[in-house]
């Protein structure tokens, strides 16, 4: 029986807690979110009818700072999923040393079925129901699956109308015109590439001699493909929600982006062969980058993964059972709470810039991002070596230790 995302998250917590010999009270505090808000959002559709959408916000732990995490628009959003994602956000912020807690939001909707007007009314409606629970010092949302800087702009505008003053630090991932940070649009991918470069060094491999398959060609996946290609890596296979392709020669990412823009999918790109999702995950490449949704690498396919490195740009793409199999097969898995922490790190930079009303160049942002990502990778690698454990468990050991210490210092446990 497939475990839920939250059950997977709790299995990861227990593994790290056992290594740390964490006390019972701390385990209990980390086993449930502080608060889950559920709301019904009535939206007047273009045809004049009112449709109700279900929205969630899980605020997991704020011992280290305000809750922080994205809002996703997806037909499969569930309370269980946002709880798991908010736990992972708590761990992610701690793993890379940010003074933030973890939260996550979602609305059950297929945004592709909504007009621009309906999307705006839904986004404003979400904030109307949630605004009392968020704010620069409480909980700072950001974009996630199928949410964009424009949606964040609408949400910020609605929040500021309701509170009666400017508060740009309430929401990150905003357009630059509203106080967004330079580099935020591709920061998740860029942070992932920084840690992947460190992993390649550990394995004595040069980017120019590295082949890559990427699952997902959304924000994170497409930027990762572009940045890795610029580094000299050879992108041999790629997928999106419509299908997957592979090639015998490295893909031309700029031409592929133009093809997707024109046709709506990577499928049918010149000189490629269409493959299925399973074939993409099991491709004969050095590096596999899951950049789509959770539970993609499981007990049933983990032993067939041929890549030597799995760099998780998506949240929760690998199940705990698959982790064990990959570790036994000497596959180096760089976990999501490290690999995709570039997004929340630049969101943190955005908050800092908003609070100071002073803005940095893209070069300054990327310099600061690289330092944080490399420092976090090095610290987690040391824990991995010390305990002879996999990278994910090492990342959770680092993160759980930091959150537990903050709870202890606050007198919560």
Q: Can you give the pLDDT at residue 108? A: 98
Please list the residues that pair with 73 across neighbouring strands.
Answer: 107
Would you say residue 293 has pLDDT above 90?
Answer: no
Q: Can you give the pLDDT at residue 179? A: 97
Please list the residues that pair with 143 across neighbouring strands.
Answer: 71
Give the whole-number percent of the chain exceeding pLDDT 70: 100
Q: Can you give the pLDDT at residue 8? A: 85
Is-contact 236 285, C-beta < 8 A? yes
d(CA 241, CA 237): 14
d(CA 201, CA 196): 9
Q: Which residues have a Cβ under 8 Å from the Cβ of 65 and sit 6 or more positions away? A: 93, 98, 99, 100, 101
Q: 46-65: b or e for each residue (b if 16 or more CB lie within 10 Å)? A: eeeeeeebebbbbbbbbbbb
d(CA 312, CA 296): 11
Q: Which residues have a Cβ under 8 Å from the Cβ of 207 and sit 6 or more positions away? A: 197, 200, 228, 231, 232, 233
Which pLDDT tens digit goes with each residue over 298-350? 999 999 999 999 999 998 899 888 999 999 999 999 999 999 999 999 999 99
Q: For 181-341+348-354+363-413, which CATH class?
A: alpha beta
Nearest to 378 by CA among 391, 389, 393, 363: 391
The whole model's pTM is what? 0.93
Q: 272-291: b or e for each residue (b if 16 or more CB lie within 10 Å)? A: beebeeebbbbbebbbbbbb
Give the whole-number percent of the chain exceeding pLDDT 90: 94
In this prediction, residue 289 has a pLDDT band, given cuts at 50, 70 and 90, of very high
Name which of 4-13, 79-88, 187-196, 398-407 the model is least confident about.
4-13
d(CA 87, CA 158): 27
State the Cα angle at 343 between 204 and 236, rounded to 5°. Answer: 45
Phi-psi region at 234: left, alpha or beta (left = phi > 0; alpha = psi -120 to 50): beta
Which pLDDT tens digit goes with each residue over 153-171? 999 999 999 999 999 999 9
Nearest to 43 by CA among 154, 117, 106: 117
In this prediction, residue 104 has a pLDDT band, given cuts at 50, 70 and 90, of very high
Q: Can you give the pLDDT at residue 145? A: 86
Q: Can you give the pLDDT at residue 1? A: 67
Every domain of the chain and the residues it spans: 34-180, 181-341+348-354+363-413
State the DSSP string of 233-267: -EEEEEEETTEEEE-SS---HHHHHHHHHHHSSST
Is-contact 337 396, C-beta < 8 A? yes
The CATH number of 34-180, from 3.30.420.40, 3.40.50.1010, 3.40.50.300, 3.40.50.10860, is: 3.40.50.10860
State the DSSP string of 261-295: HHHSSSTT-TT-EEE-HHHHHT-S-SEEEE-S-SS
Q: Can you give the pLDDT at residue 172? A: 97
Nearest to 196 by CA among 73, 29, 340: 340
Domains 34-180 and 181-341+348-354+363-413 share a fold: yes
- Interstrand relation of 35-44 and 50-61 (parallel, antiparallel or unpaired): antiparallel
Mean pLDDT throughout 9-30? 96
Which pLDDT tens digit goes with each residue over 218-243? 889 999 999 999 999 999 999 999 99
Extract the tokens encoding 304: 């067939």
How does the average pLDDT of the chain come out, rounded? 96
Is-contact 315 294, C-beta < 8 A? yes
Would you say residue 396 has pLDDT above 90?
Answer: yes
Mean pLDDT throughout 197-220? 95
104 part of the active site = yes
Catalytic residue among 83, 104, 260, 308: 104
Extract the tokens encoding 200: 């390649």
């Amino acid at each position: 029986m497939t475990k839920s995302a939250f059950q997977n998250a709790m299995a990861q917590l227990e593994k790290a807690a056992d290594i740390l010999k964490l006390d019972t009270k701390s385990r209990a505090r980390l086993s449930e979110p502080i608060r889950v808000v559920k709301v019904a959002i009535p939206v007047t559709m273009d045809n004049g009818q009112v449709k109700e959408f279900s929205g969630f916000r899980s605020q997991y732990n704020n011992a280290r700072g305000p809750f922080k995490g994205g809002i996703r628009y997806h037909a499969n959003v569930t309370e269980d999923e946002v709880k798991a994602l908010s736990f992972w956000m708590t761990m992610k912020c701690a793993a890379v040393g940010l003074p933030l807690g973890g939260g996550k939001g979602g609305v059950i909707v297929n945004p592709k079925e909504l007009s621009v007007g309906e999307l705006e009314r839904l986004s404003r409606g979400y904030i109307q129901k949630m605004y009392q629970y968020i704010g620069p010092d409480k909980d700072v949302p950001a974009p996630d699956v199928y949410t964009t800087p424009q949606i964040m702009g609408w949400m910020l505008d609605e929040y500021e109308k309701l509170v009666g003053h400017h508060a740009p630090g309430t929401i990150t991932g905003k357009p630059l015109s509203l106080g967004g940070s330079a580099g935020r649009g591709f920061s998740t991918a860029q942070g992932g590439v920084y840690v992947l470069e460190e992993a390649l060094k550990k394995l004595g491999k040069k980017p120019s001699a590295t082949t890559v398959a990427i699952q997902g060609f959304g924000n994170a996946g497409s930027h990762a493909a572009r940045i890795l290609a610029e580094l000299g890596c050879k992108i041999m296979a790629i997928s999106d929600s419509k299908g997957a392709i592979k090639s015998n020669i490295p893909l031309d990412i700029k031409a592929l982006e133009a093809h997707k823009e024109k046709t709506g999918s990577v499928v049918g790109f010149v000189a490629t062969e269409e493959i299925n999702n399973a074939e993409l995950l099991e491709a004969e490449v050095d590096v596999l980058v899951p950049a789509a949704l959770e539970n993609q690498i499981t007990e049933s396919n983990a032993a067939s993964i041929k890549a030597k490195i799995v760099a998780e740009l998506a949240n929760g793409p690998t199940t705990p059972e698959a982790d064990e199999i990959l570790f036994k097969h000497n596959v180096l898995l760089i976990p999501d709470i490290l690999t995709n922490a570039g997004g929340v790190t630049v969101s943190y930079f955005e908050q800092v810039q908003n609070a100071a009303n002073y803005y940095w160049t893209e070069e300054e942002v990327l310099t600061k991002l690289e330092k944080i990502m490399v420092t976090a990778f090095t610290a987690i690698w040391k824990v991995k070596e010390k305990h002879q454990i996999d990278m994910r468990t090492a990342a959770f050991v680092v993160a759980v230790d930091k959150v537990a210490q903050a709870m202890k210092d606050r007198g919560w446990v």
